[in-house]
A = this chain, B = another copy of it.
Amino acid sequence: MAEILKGKDVIASMKERMLKQVEELQSHGVTPCLAIVRLGAKADDLAYEKGAVKRCEGLGIKCVVMEYDESISQKELEDEIRKLNEDTGIHGILVFRPLPKHIDENAIKYVISPDKDVDCFSPVNVAKVFEGDDNGFAPCTPEAVMEMLEHYGVDVSGKRVVVIGRSLVVGKPLSMLLLRKNATVTICHTKTRDLGGTARTADILIAAAGKARMITKEFVSPGQIVIDVGINMDKDGNLCGDVDYDNVEKTVAMITPVPGGVGTVTTSILAKHVLAAAWRLSGVMGS
């Protein structure tokens, strides 16, 4: 029986720290504020937004939802983001992606202020993650993985970590965050030969492939720590991870569940980023 690494304990511990920070910011007259930029009303966006607003407001972080028609022009959207950049009452900006096809996302990413870019959209923050510069904002999901590992006392230094998935949202930035903490990182993907054999050599196995229950017991070995970043729907419409949990958890030492694992921590990371931005932008020195 593996130890189950639940998200809720991580969230509770982060909440305790963040409530104090919000209190201190407020004592300096600063109310941390996140602007959420949403085009149209996609179900996925609305679901994430609901969770993010709830998490932030529960901490005393104000949320402003900027909803635009999906048909907004490139120029209008850029102008709106520039207004948010300049608004001193706003500390963080989250832009839901992907943007509609008529919008040049590649141009938008240069518009958002790197100082308010709490979800690593700007190339400035992308470069910082790659460079190992902690002054930027990493994407929320990979940072949630790091937060979970730290919370549960897993020191990655010198460990063999196998990351399955090379997306720009999870696999690649997570590899950089792990490298920054001195892990030996192997990045695997659809073209990897003998994926199972490689996965079994890992001390820590991270599944971020986006493929329901692909990690079966043939991919794991005793003593491993398995982190499941996948959020998929199986053919019966049930939420599940990239890991075939029931099949795997008997073998490994630690495992994150889905739901209730990494995914639940991401909005706490978002809140953490808004607070970090508020500290820096308001010039209040944190304790």
> Could you tell me which A residues sit within 8 Å of B by CB distance?
123-124, 126-132, 157-160, 166, 168, 172, 175-176, 179, 182, 184-189, 191-193, 198
Given A126-B131, A130-B172: A191 touches B184 (CB 8 Å cut-off) = yes
Closest to A203 in B: B193
Report whether B179 and A184 are in contact in the complex, using a CB–CB cutoff of 8 Å.
no
Report whether A184 and B175 are in contact in the complex, using a CB–CB cutoff of 8 Å.
no
Report whether A182 and B175 are in contact in the complex, using a CB–CB cutoff of 8 Å.
no
Q: Which residues of B contact A158 (CB under 8 A)?
A: 191-193
A175–B172 Cα distance when bound, in Å, is 10
Q: Which residues of B contact A185 (CB under 8 A)?
A: 186-187
Closest to A178 in B: B187
A179–B131 Cα distance when bound, in Å, is 17
Q: Which residues of B contact A179 (CB under 8 A)?
A: 166, 172, 187, 189
How many copies of the shown chain assemble into the complex? 2
Q: Which residues of B contact A191 (CB under 8 A)?
A: 157-158, 182, 184
Q: Which residues of B contact A123 (CB under 8 A)?
A: 123-124, 127-128
| Residue with the greatest number of chain B CB neighbours at <10 A, chosen from A132, A159, A172 | A172
| Residue with the greatest number of chain B CB neighbours at <10 A, chosen from A132, A160, A186, A198 | A186
Closest to A187 in B: B185
Q: List 17 A-B contacts (CB under 8 A).
A: A123-B124, A123-B128, A124-B127, A126-B126, A127-B130, A130-B172, A131-B168, A158-B192, A172-B176, A172-B179, A175-B187, A182-B191, A184-B187, A184-B192, A184-B198, A185-B187, A186-B187
Q: Which residues of B contact A129 (CB under 8 A)?
A: 130
Closest to A135 in B: B106
Closest to A129 in B: B130
> A177 to chain B: closest CB distance in Å?
13
A129–B182 Cα distance when bound, in Å, is 22
Closest to A166 in B: B179
A126–B185 Cα distance when bound, in Å, is 20
A172–B198 Cα distance when bound, in Å, is 21
Q: Which residues of B contact A175 (CB under 8 A)?
A: 187
